[in-house]
Amino acid sequence: MKLNLEEGAILVKYAREVLVHYLKGEEIKFVGYPEKFNNVRGIFVSIHTYPGHDLRGCIGIPEPIMPLIDALKEASISAAEHDPRFQPVKSKELSEIIFEISVLTMPEEINVENPMDYLQRLEIGRDGLIIEFGPYRGLLLPQVATEYNWDKKQFLSNLCLKAGLPKTAWLEYSVRLQSFQAQIFEELSPNGPIIEKTTYTGC
């Protein structure tokens, strides 16, 4: 299920509308949206400051467990209100933030005999990663490695740290590693033009 730019722009606008209504204490119900939004997909909502583009909140639902439209509503509120790294977003900030939506493909397990082979399977800018080891779990979106200019080893090491593991866990532990791709749509300014930043090659 690939989205076109118009459909991606609708998601970004909906994310903003969800937060506007939520901060007013109002319920929101969308009607007449594209049929694709009823498909079950994972999603992340990232909020950045404008014009500085500093992260202001980012939470998602990586597993495809609910329709995209419902996942968007839940993730939009969570990114603004429940990211433990930040204070909740206030109404006065709505003119000072931009929204970025990442629609995810189904995670696929990466099976290798030698952990160094992960480096051959991973492509920076295309792949997001999920790591699991016992109770530890971490996820990094595809755009994170590009934004921080990480190479493949740095991406894997920071993924481990995100999960609360040593940075060499991907080499030394029997971790479970999954990859996914994303379509990423973002506002260029608050309520401004929306672009597609990245496309994936899968279906």
Q: How confident is the model at residue 7 (pLDDT cuts 50, 70, 90)?
A: very high
Query: Which residue type, as a one-letter code, is found at position 75?
Result: A
Q: How confident is the model at residue 96 (pLDDT cuts 50, 70, 90)?
A: very high
With respect to residue 151, please indicate whether it lies within any of the assigned structural domains.
yes
Round to whole Å and give the CA distance between 172 and 15: 40
Do residues 35 and 112 both lie within one domain? no
Give, as one character, the DSSP assignment of residue 200: -
Give residue 198's pLDDT: 66
Round to whole Å and give the CA distance between 127 and 91: 34
Do residues 191 and 157 both lie within one domain? no
Do residues 9 and 98 both lie within one domain? yes
> What does the buried/exposed string (b/e) look like for 15-28 if buried means 16 or more CB atoms within 10 Å of the residue's CB?
bbebbeebbeeeee
Do residues 138 and 90 both lie within one domain? no
- The residue among 110 and 147 whose pLDDT is bigger is 110
Cis peptide before 51 (omega within 30 of 0): yes
With respect to residue 203, please indicate whether it lies within any of the assigned structural domains.
no
Mean per-residue pLDDT over the chain, rounded:
94
Give the distance from CA 33 to its chain's centroid. 21
Do residues 93 and 153 both lie within one domain? no
Q: Is the pLDDT of residue 119 over 70?
A: yes
Do residues 69 and 120 both lie within one domain? no
Do residues 15 and 68 both lie within one domain? yes
Reported as a single tens digit per residue, the pLDDT across 71-83 is 999 999 999 999 9
Do residues 122 and 148 both lie within one domain? yes
Do residues 100 and 139 both lie within one domain? no
Do residues 190 and 171 both lie within one domain? no
Q: Is the pLDDT of residue 202 over 60?
A: no
With respect to residue 38, please indicate whether it lies within any of the assigned structural domains.
yes
Give residue 62's pLDDT: 87
The residue written with tokens 């997001």 in the block is 128
Return the sign of the alpha-carbon dihedral for residues 63, 66, 72, 73.
negative
Do residues 118 and 144 both lie within one domain? yes
Reported as a single tens digit per residue, the pLDDT across 17-38 is 999 999 999 989 899 999 999 9
Do residues 93 and 139 both lie within one domain? no
Mean pLDDT along residues 130-157: 95
Residues recorded for the chain: 203
* Domain span at 194: 5-105+182-198
Q: Is the pLDDT of residue 170 over 90?
A: yes
CATH of the domain at 60: 3.30.700.20
CATH of the domain at 113: 3.30.1490.150
Give, as one character, the DSSP assignment of residue 67: B
Give residue 94's pLDDT: 97
Round to whole Å and give the CA distance between 168 and 181: 24
Segment (H or E) for 177: strand 176-180
